[in-house]
């Protein structure tokens, strides 16, 4: 990014401070947002040579507030402790950020002081782990000790990766006191006319653990058709499978913004799941858009 572009980014960044809800219900929470630094940078975890776009807090606020979404849980993709700190500093300035899910070197010798450091911040609500790291770490005493420490501090573990259903199942079995979050529809691929039986088996196994939740994020991105493909009917079999497995009380709204912009607008992602959940009634909608996230992550109101 050029110096001029970086300056423009700075000019466009706004405050996230905003009304914290409508009179008829609690504020809607987007449980999966990324606020990348205002400079494009190489990210090895997302592919060699791939750049991630700058994400601007004000841009999210504009798109989200238009849909009635007022609060966000922000996910850190970088393992650098100072990138985690940057998000916590941002949360300290913006009331709309009600939670930060960071990345820490679980299993490494320098991890315990980092857990203590970040857990002291009430907006730090957990960490993100790749599935392969979990599957390898479950045989590592240091890894397990660090995960137990997270659980003892009331923090959660977001799980992502191609084997996330297996990893989440094993992690939730080993540490039933730890809250486990399956990201992005648990890796669903929306292909053909009905869900893959192996995926259905996987979400059934994961949902048997009362300490496991699922984020209904990355829905449109997971489809094999063009992002402009209209209609809830395309996605309904997968959404119904998720609710059949987890019920109304363990599913949460998320978008994966701004990565999601490669496939659809914020409004389209929100409207798609809103159409589905509206058919389940007002209580299911309140749980999905607000209360489940508060319970799963232990969120508290800003202040």
Q: Three-state SS for 161?
A: coil
The per-type count for the chain, helices as H runs and strands as E runs, is: 13, 10
Residues 29 and 251 sit within 8 Å (Cβ to Cβ): no
* Long-range CB contacts for residues 191-195, cutoff 8 Å, separation at least 24: 191/223, 191/224, 192/224, 193/237, 194/237, 195/237, 195/238, 195/241
- How far is 15 from 61, CA to CA, in rounded Å? 8
- How far is 286 from 224, CA to CA, in rounded Å? 30
Helical H segments across 153-229, by residue range: 164-174, 184-187, 197-207
**pLDDT at 127 (0 to 100):** 98
DSSP 250-294: GEEE---BTGGGGT--HHHHHHHHHHHHHTT-HHHHHIIIIIHHH
> Which CATH architecture describes the domain 29-297?
Alpha-Beta Barrel (3.20)
**pLDDT at 225 (0 to 100):** 63
Question: Residue 39 pLDDT more than 90?
Answer: no
Percent of the chain with pLDDT over 70: 83
> What pTM did the predictor assign?
0.86
> Higher confidence at residue 246 or residue 190?
246
Question: Residue 288 pLDDT more than 80?
Answer: yes
The residue length of the chain stands at: 303
Q: pLDDT tier at 50 (50, 70, 90 boundaries)?
A: very low
Least confident of 99-113, 137-151, 221-235, 287-301: 221-235
* Pairing outcome for strands 251-253 and 212-216: parallel
């Amino acid at each position: 990014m050029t110096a001029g572009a970086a300056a423009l980014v700075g000019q466009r960044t706004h405050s996230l401070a905003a009304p914290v809800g409508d009179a008829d219900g609690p504020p809607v929470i987007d449980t999966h947002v990324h606020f990348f630094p205002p400079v494009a940078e190489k990210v090895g975890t997302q592919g060699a040579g791939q750049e991630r776009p700058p994400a601007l807090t004000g841009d999210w606020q504009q798109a989200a507030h238009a849909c009635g979404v007022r609060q966000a849980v922000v996910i850190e993709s970088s393992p650098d402790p100072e990138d985690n700190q940057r998000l916590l500093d941002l949360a300290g300035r913006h009331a709309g950020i009600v939670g930060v899910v960071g990345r820490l070197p679980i299993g490494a010798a320098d991890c315990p002081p980092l857990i203590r450091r970040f857990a002291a911040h009430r907006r730090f609500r957990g960490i993100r782990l790749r599935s392969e790291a979990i599957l390898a770490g479950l045989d590592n005493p240091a890894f397990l000790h660090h995960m137990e420490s997270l659980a003892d501090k009331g923090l959660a573990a977001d799980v992502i990766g191609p084997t996330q259903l297996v990893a989440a199942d094993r992690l939730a079995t080993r540490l039933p006191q730890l809250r486990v979050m399956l990201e992005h529809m648990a890796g669903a691929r929306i292909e053909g006319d009905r869900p893959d039986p192996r995926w259905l088996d996987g979400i059934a196994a994961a949902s048997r653990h009362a300490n496991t939740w699922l984020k209904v994020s990355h829905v449109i991105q997971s489809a094999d058709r063009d992002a402009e493909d209209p209609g809830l009917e395309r996605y309904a079999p997968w959404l119904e499978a998720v609710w059949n497995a987890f019920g109304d009380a363990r599913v949460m709204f998320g978008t994966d913004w701004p990565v999601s912009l490669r496939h659809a607008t914020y409004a389209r992602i929100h409207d798609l799941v809103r159409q589905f959940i509206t058919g389940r009634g007002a209580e299911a909608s309140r749980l999905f858009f607000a209360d489940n996230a508060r319970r799963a992550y232990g969120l508290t109101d800003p202040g």
